Structures are given as structure tokens and as C-alpha cells.
Chain A
Amino acid sequence: MKKTLAYLGERALLTLISVVLLFPIAWMFLTAFKQPRDAYSLSLNFEPTLQNFVTVFSDPWNLGSMVMNSVIVATVTVLIAVPCAALAAYSFSRFRVKGRKFLFFLILSTQFIPAVVIVLPFFLMFRQLDMLDTRLALIIVNLAIVTPFVIWMIKGFIDAIPTDSEEAAMIDGASRLRVIKDIVMPMAAPGIMTSSIFCFILTWNEFLFALILSRRDAVTLPVGLVSFRTERGDLWELMSAAGVMITVPIFIMALFIQKHFTRGMTAGAVK
């Protein structure tokens, strides 16, 4: 009896947490398919429409260019940050050089600085370089934000890889770079995948720098959402449709590479 009550209590608590967490997302998905007149209604009885998705991609909202900006900024950031971070993480993990710990702390400490403190210096710098409202500026800023985080994440994964396989490869005839390419990276692949997703999500959702550094040409999706707050009020149905556009790619990506999270690649390397 006591066991059943504990079980029911546990289920009730989990359900409550799930409802609290999922309600906003469910509300956003539903609202994206509602007519403007139903946007504030909590009723599930409404006439669904795809018009909101058509509207957000047409004038004056032009969500298409924002999607393109977000895709380019996030993809290029990941493509540059992850390989660089992987090499840096390998060095921090394997080479015992003087000042290694301090340097690692220094890199991590960049994450302790609130973004709002450095956004103005970035703005001034890019204005000086005539790079405001460019994707390149956003990529540079995002690289500065995510690279330390990705180094820290990948280092954790590389630390967990036994060095025996690497040493075996070196004796087998591989150079250090070849060892990294043939042995370390495949073994760290699940970790690198995970880090890449985090890196993509961080960049994809980045708001503050994109808001300050872009005006018209380089506006990304999170900033684009703000434009649905108009003099006519908040256009929730359009904002939700745009919100779905932001959420779905991340959701699909996470589902697609979920298998990498669950299985490590080091099984069988050592005893």
C-alpha cells in the first residue's frame, strides 16, 4: 500500500513537472496553427490554418532571410569552433606543459563574464571595422562565446579515453596528427557530436549580440521574433509560427543524433 502510494505520488509529481515544462511549447505549437482571433483562447476547438507560416515568410516579415542568417551563422560557427576546440581540448588533455592549468582556467573564465558587459565593446569594435550588421561579425562573436565552452566539454570526453590506444598507434607508425585523426577523434566522436549540438543550439538561440550587432541584413531568427511585437500589439500566432521554425530544426537534429549520446566508442579498447 505504502509502495503504491509512493509510486502514485512520484507519477503525479513527474506529470506536474512535465505539464509545467511542456505547456509553453505545446501552446506555441497550437498557436502557430490558429487564426488571429483564436490566439488568446485556451480552447482546443479551433480551425487550424497554415496561413501564419505563409505570412511570416512574406513581406514585411521575410523570415526566410532570417532563417538563412541563422543557418549560416550557426553552421559556420560549429564548423570552425568544433575542430579548433577539439585540437585545443586534446592538447589540454594530453600535454603536460607549464601553465596548462592556468591557461585552461583563463579560457574558462571568459564564460564568467556577463554578455551584457562585453556587448558594447564588441559593438564599438565592429563599428570601427565597418562590420556591423554582417554575418561575419555574428560568427566571430559566437566563436568567442562558444569555443571555450566546447573546449571544456570535449576535454572531458578526451580525458576519459585511455592513452594506451594512442600510444599503440604511435608505435604502429602514426604521427601525432595521424593519431588524433585515426584514433582519438573516432573514439571521442560521441562527445564531439554532443558538443557540436550544444554549440549549434547556443549559437542558434543567441539573442543579445545578434540584437545589438544586426539591423537589417544579418538579423537572425531569435531577433526576428521581436519584430512581431508591433504597434497593433503582440502578434502571437505569427510569433508562434516563427518559434516553431526556430525549434523544429534543433528538435530534428537532436532526434537524428540521439544514438550517439547513448553509446560510447571506447568499449573494447582496454580491459
Chain B
Amino acid sequence: MAEVRLVDIEKKYGNFLAVPKQSLTIHDGEFLVLLGPSGCGKTTTMRMIAGLEDITSGDIMIKGERINDKPPKDRDIAMVFQNYGLYPHMTVRQNIEYPLKLRGMDKASRKDRVMETAEKVELDALLERRPSELSGGQRQRVALARAIVRTPSIFLMDEPLSNLDAKLRVTMRAELKHLHHELGVTTVYVTHDQMEAMTLASRVAVMREGRIVQLDTPKKIYAEPADLFVAGFIGSPSMNLIDGAVKGGVFRTDGVEVPVDLGDRDGVVLGIRPEELEITQDTDAAIGGKLYALELTGESTLVTLRNGPTSVCARGHADFEADIDSPCHLVPKDGARFHLFDRASGERLR
């Protein structure tokens, strides 16, 4: 049982409050992703769990035990760093072997375990090389192998894929997912890439200015973002957020008229995802404007139209073609979900 509980933890650097008081429970075997923009406190939170940063107040419990004062080496965790953090003067074998050596494992067992782990991450042919002789992906695999070799209770991963190119990132993402499935170890993963968060996580904690603003499954966060920040952060391309007002059960702004289930109110933001809109020839459609941009992504075309200050993006067919500045109309697909937020507070209204 490797449950991690953060109880009212807070982190201050002098007068600067990096992580305000908050609690979080990471269940046994869970893959929890801390997601947020740079400087939102996700790495600080992870480093506090690792013991690399002292906490200003609160408690960190691992397997029910308070570990605030325990050094990193006694927390039974393994961590994969953004910049790999390899030992450059050691070979790949020595890098992977080092944690076992520190724990006093005998030479023969070490050798077997290193080989077994290296095979798991396909490094068995590179064991005698030094990190400087490896590619970025191979180095990241060494860091992974070093983390899994001693089967810790908790994995901490700090943006482990951010230094890899796009193609390798997708491959490594699948490998991480498979590894978690295979090992079932509680994992805390930090990233600013919402795609990584959505694909890897059992649950995602979206962070902003040190606070967790939403903690839920990727599906729920995508379907019901808690506020404007989450709505704009999750999804690629991000959700259309349109400023307007509701009158007589209709949300109105330049070129947009959508019936909604909300009382009369000013300062409302309507959110709708691009994939829930479709292009129509109907000139009376809910959303109208002039075609501003067409972006072919391969499997689809992103169609952006503008009407005054309002800009709306929809995901259309890959073969959709039209002239820029020509009139364009969009209609919500059947079952499309409208999200309504309060402009001032950012809170979800419906």
C-alpha cells in the first residue's frame, strides 16, 4: 500500500508563497499528473514529496507514515528528472546499478537485476556506454531504468519527456503507460503538456498559482472544466471561450446566438470545444462570421472564423476548402456541450 497524502502542505520562499496550504491524496497504484503552466508550483510540490525541498508547514504521509523529516533516501521513492540527472562519469550499467549498490545488494544479484531492467527498457546493448555517447531518448531510458531497478513504492517524474522530440515523446509516452500498467507503482507525474496528462493519468490535478484548481479523471476534466482557466488549458486546440450576455435564454454576442439554460445575466463566457462544432451552409446558423484561417492538421482542418472581436475555431473535414474572408457558418453538433462561466470570477455557471 503506497498511498501518498499531502495534508495542509504549504511552501514559502521568504515572503513569497509558492504553494498555498492545500491537501491531496494520491491513491495506491494511481498515476496522478500534476498539470499546469510554468511556475504554478507543480515541481515544487513534487520536490516536497521527494524531500528535496523542505515544507514550510503541513505533513506528508507515505504509507500512513509521516515523512516530513526523513531524507530523500529513506522515503522509498525514485525520481526521473527533466534533465535526466545521470552520472556522466559512470557507464549505463553503473548508472542503473548505483541505487542497488547503495542499498548493499550483492554483486551477483545486482548484475542480474541490472540486466533484467535494461532489457525492459531496451538498453541491454548499451550497458558499457557512457551517457555522453547516448541519444536523448536513450538517456531518458537510462534515467527510467535507474528509477525502476529497485522497485520503489512511488515514482516521481518531473517532466521526463519535455526534452525529447515530438515523435520520441509519443513513443516514450506509450512506454511509460505500459510500464505503469506492468509495475502498478504509485506514480506522480509533473507536466505542462495537457496531452501527456490526458493520455497518461488516472487522475489529473490542474494547478494554477500554487493551488489545485481541479482534481479529477482526464475524462471529467475535459467534459466539465471547473473554471475558465481549466477550460482554456485542457484540449488541443483549446476550447472556444466567447464573451457575451444571456437574455431570454439565449447567449448573444457578435455573430453568435446560442440557446442556453441560464437566466438573464451579463458578463458570461460561453465555452464550446472546436470538435463539437461543424461547418454548415445554413446562413441562419448559430455562429457566423468571415473565414479567418484554415489550418490542415492531417486528419482534419481547423477552421477559424471571426466576427468583430469574436473568434471561433471548429474542427472540420480534412478536405474542407474555402477562401479566406468568405462568409462561414458553424453549428453545434448534436449533443454538443455548452459550458458557461462567469467572466469576473471565472467560475463555472453551468
Residues of A in contact with B (beta carbons under 8 Å apart): 162, 164-165, 167-175, 178, 182-183, 186-187, 189, 265-271
Contact = CB atoms under 8 A, between A and B. Distances in A.
A37 to B, nearest CB: 57
B87 interface: yes
B71 interface: yes
Contacts of A269: 83-88, 131
B81 A169 contact: no
Nearest to B77: A171
Contacts of B146: 168, 172
B344 to A, nearest CB: 41
Contacts of B139: 268, 271
B72 A171 contact: yes
B85 A164 contact: yes
B298 to A, nearest CB: 29
Given A162-B85, A269-B83, 9 more contacts: A168-B79, A168-B87, A168-B143, A170-B71, A172-B98, A266-B88, A268-B139, A269-B88, A271-B82
Contact of B99 (A173, A265, A268, A270): A173
B331 to A, nearest CB: 47
14 contacts: A162-B83, A164-B81, A164-B82, A168-B85, A168-B87, A168-B146, A169-B87, A171-B52, A172-B73, A173-B102, A268-B131, A268-B139, A270-B85, A271-B84
A269 B142 CA distance: 11
Contacts of A175: 71, 73
Contact of A164 (B83, B102, B133): B83
B232 interface: no
A266 B89 CA distance: 8
Interface string B118-132: 000000000000111
Contacts of A170: 51-52, 71-73
A186 B98 CA distance: 15
B132 A171 contact: no
Contacts of A183: 87
B235 interface: no
Contacts of A270: 83-86
B141 to A, nearest CB: 14
Given A162-B83, A265-B89, A271-B163, A167 B52 contact: yes
Nearest to A168: B85
B127 to A, nearest CB: 15
B136 interface: yes
A170 B70 CA distance: 12
A182 B88 CA distance: 11
Contact of B85 (A165, A182, A186): A165
A11 B71 CA distance: 60
